[in-house]
Amino acid sequence: MHKNRMDQDVEYVMYTRRKILKRVRELGKELKNDYEGKNLLVVSTLKGSYMFLADLTRAMEFPFDVDFVSCSSYGSGTVSRELVFKKDLDCDITGRDVLIVEDIVDSGNTLKALKERLLSRNPNSVKLCSLLDKKARREVEINVDYIGFPCENEFVIGYGLDYNEKYRNLPYIGVLKREIYE
Ligand code: PRP
């Protein structure tokens, strides 16, 4: 494989582009089975999920809408987290089936808070789909309905995931060398 500058900062490739696309196609079929004929709204969380969203939605061969949120959760420990929207949904979700698409579930705080916020708007359902599930870092209990891959407790970059806003455009998921961030 031709190496570019970013590849040199990768300790090892956790999931290749080929492996990701295979799994994404499987998820697309599963989602078609579960959602075709429903009033589905896919909600993507910026920015990390953009590459997963682009591939996943093309693998979901049926009609649905897509919208975007940008949010962060603040607070720590047992204090309930406050979710702040930098960008909220454009549409009303009353009575709709909502699928949140994420790149990674880490502590779980962002998704838990986002799911609760969306549930308060009276949708028919809210489910979660995450490409990566980093269980070792979980701080709150949250059920991820559709999971691409488990993720070891490593600093992962690529396929949308960043370190200081860089590396999102790597086509695979890799582990960042320690010397880059330590
Ligand atoms: C990442 C990821 C999730 C969140 C998961 O976003 O996309 O939204 O962190 O972490 P949690 O489970 O600990 O809440 P990030 O804040 O890095 O922003 P980005 O997507 O713009 O890179």
CA of 1 to the centre of ligand 1 (A): 30
- Over the chain, what HEC string results? CCCCHHHHHEEEEEECHHHHHHHHHHHHHHHHHHHCCCCEEEEEECCCCHHHHHHHHHHCCCCCEEEEEEEEEECCCCCCCEEEEEECCCCCCCCCEEEEEEEEECCCHHHHHHHHHHHCCCCCEEEEEEEEECHHHCCCCCCCCEEEEECCCCCEEECCECECCECCCCCCEEEECHHHHC
Q: Which numbered atom of ligand 1 lies nearest the CA of 137?
A: 13
Judge contact between 84 and 71, C-beta under 8 A: yes
CA of 37 to the centre of ligand 1 (A): 31
Residue 100: what pLDDT?
Answer: 98
Residue 3: what pLDDT?
Answer: 72
Residue 74: what pLDDT?
Answer: 74
- Whose C-alpha lies nearest to ligand 1, atom 16? 72
Residue 77: what pLDDT?
Answer: 54
Q: Which numbered atom of ligand 1 lies nearest the CA of 162?
A: 22
Residue 51: what pLDDT?
Answer: 98
> What pTM was computed for the model?
0.94
Ligand 1: residues whose CB is within 6 Å? 45-48, 102-111, 162
Neighbouring C-beta atoms of residue 48, cutoff 10 Å: 19
* Candidate from 43, 45, 162 with most ligand 1 atoms within 8 A of CB, to mutate: 45
CA of 93 to the centre of ligand 1 (A): 23
Per-residue pLDDT of the chain (182 residues; tens, 9 = 90+): 567 889 999 999 999 999 999 999 999 999 999 999 999 999 999 999 999 999 999 999 999 999 999 998 776 555 557 889 999 999 999 999 999 999 999 999 999 999 999 999 999 999 999 999 999 999 999 999 999 999 999 999 999 999 999 999 999 999 999 999 99
